[in-house]
Amino acid sequence: MKSILAIGECMMELIEKSDSLLNRSFAGDTYNALVYAKRYNPQTDCRYFTAVGGDATSKTMLSAWKKHNLNTDCALVSTSATIGIYAISTDDTGERSFSYWRSQSAATQMMRLKPLPELINQIGHADIAFFSGISLGILSDEDKGLLLELTKRLQENGTKIAFDPNYRPAMWKGPEHAIHWLELAYQHCDIALPGIEEHELLLGHTSPIKIMQYCQSLGAKEIIVKCGNDGTFVYECGELIAHQAFVAAPVQIDSTAAGDSFAGTYLAARNIGCDIETALIDACSVAREVVQHKGAILDIDVYAAINTYAKRN
């Protein structure tokens, strides 16, 4: 059975339904990606490495993961913390703003709850391990180093490492701090999923080829550059393999998890042997649907209508 490991933080997500009502669900960038990977190919063993609390809300979250058929064997339990929380507000164009309560969450402890050899043993083998700049950003610098050591060990054991910088300025002490750790992460990955906006902001890169050359120089081999209205470019070993033009959704309600659903779909497709062009087309198709609905995770019936892999097979 093929397997994907995602690393990061899943939080309680609160979305306004009315002036007096909030809708609760659970989400987070790498978690969202894992849900979409499982949706794309239900036969894939999808595991999430993080830490949660031992309280009732954490247990409710784990139950939600199981409803999505995710493997919870790699979720550690903290006795001193619970899960983080965030609230989403969206404007008339579907753009999001967030409020977070996560600085002392259980996930920030995930690299300290067990020694590294025990963590590696508990995780076991995965075909792909996926982490992000947010996975790093929630951790202390010492724990960032431990996470990168973990990915290095997994890579040495045959796991392909995928990394999405998913840059959020508030999570870093400044641009130099972010660049330092993102460069180290690129050195620990086989598949990179950078966005042109974050690279332009941090490094002044204004073209997909500049981003590709930069990521390749640090060690990444398969590089998916997301360029907004210019579409998405995929390079392998320095060559452009595929380009998908941007096709706007008929209506944009909420851009939450558009990039996450893209990453999860792309990685799931590549993991089961789809070629790069097919994986790119399928990932763009899912992301285009996601922005037309509120919240991070599409209803299963909505997703089933667009699952091109299931329709082909």
User: Catalytic residue numbers?
Assistant: 260
Say how far apart CA 93 and CA 174 lie, in whole Å.
29
Q: Are 131 and 176 in contact (CB under 8 A)?
A: no
Q: Are 169 and 198 in contact (CB under 8 A)?
A: no
Q: Are 134 and 10 in contact (CB under 8 A)?
A: no
The residues, ordered by sequence, that sit 6+ positions from 224 with a Cβ below 8 Å of its Cβ are 191, 192, 193, 194, 232, 233, 234, 266, 280
Q: Are 52 and 63 in contact (CB under 8 A)?
A: no
Q: State the distance between the two ends of the chain, measured CA to CA, in whole angstroms.
A: 17
The residues, ordered by sequence, that sit 6+ positions from 61 with a Cβ below 8 Å of its Cβ are 10, 12, 26, 52, 83
- β-strand partners of 6: 48, 130
Annotate 152-181 with b (16+ C-beta within 10 A) or e (fewer): eebeeeebbbbbbbbbbeebbeeeeebeeb
Say how far apart CA 212 and CA 298 lie, in whole Å.
31
